[in-house]
Amino acid sequence: MLRNAAGIGAAVGAYGISFGAVAVAAGLSVPQACALSALAFTGASQFAFVGVVAAGGSPLAGVATALLLGSRNTLYGLRLSRLLNVRGARRLLAAHVVIDETTAMAVARTSPAESRLAFWATAASVFSLWNLATLLGAAGARAVGDPRALGLDAAVPAAFLGLLWPRLAAGGGSRAVAVAGAAVAVLTSLILPAGVPVLLAALVAIRLRERT
């Protein structure tokens, strides 16, 4: 179990390096990129935020988009609340690290004790390596000068697509939802400020996903 938690942390950390680099390419400073990883701590939402900012959208639009994508963690929390049985300050800490990986590790165990160990071990591994990787990626991108000169700004949509691709490759309704969301984003980008099309596309995708 602990070995699996460490492996998951290492795998997620690789994305952290990408996030640090693209965050700097989007205009964030190294401390800002690190603060976003520490305080937000949900990869898809973080990539969405920097994607909106990189496109010229307002930070408010970026935050709204990130919150929409991170809303699924609320459902995870409902599932885990009885399983983890935490109280007080530990409850706030647990809520902060409720993500896809910690949830999957916890619910796959056969006893509450194993679930709690899997959850906290995965949380510690992913949180520490994700934040360390963010620092390395952001500092490395800053060291080369203007990240846009190397084309790192193009890494924002590429990295986000990398997160989505496993879901698209699975087929089913995911592809239809992705196509609809992309169409809304492209069409509304012609008439709306940067960042707003992404927010609308996310709303459409969530609505369609509820129906499938």
Mean pLDDT by 10 residues, the chain (212 residues): 82 82 88 94 86 80 79 81 86 90 84 90 93 92 62 51 56 69 78 68 68 58
Distance CA 150, CA 110 (A): 49
* Predicted local confidence at residue 184, as pLDDT: 80
The pTM score is 0.71
Q: Is 170 exposed, middle or buried (0-12, 13-18, 19+ CB in 10 A)?
A: exposed
Tell me the pLDDT tens digit for each residue of 160-196: 555 455 556 655 566 777 777 778 877 877 787 655 6
* Predicted local confidence at residue 167, as pLDDT: 56
* Predicted local confidence at residue 52, as pLDDT: 82
> Which amino acid would we find at residue 72?
R
Secondary structure (DSSP) of 15-46 = HHHHHHHHHHHTT--HHHHHHHHHHT--HHHH
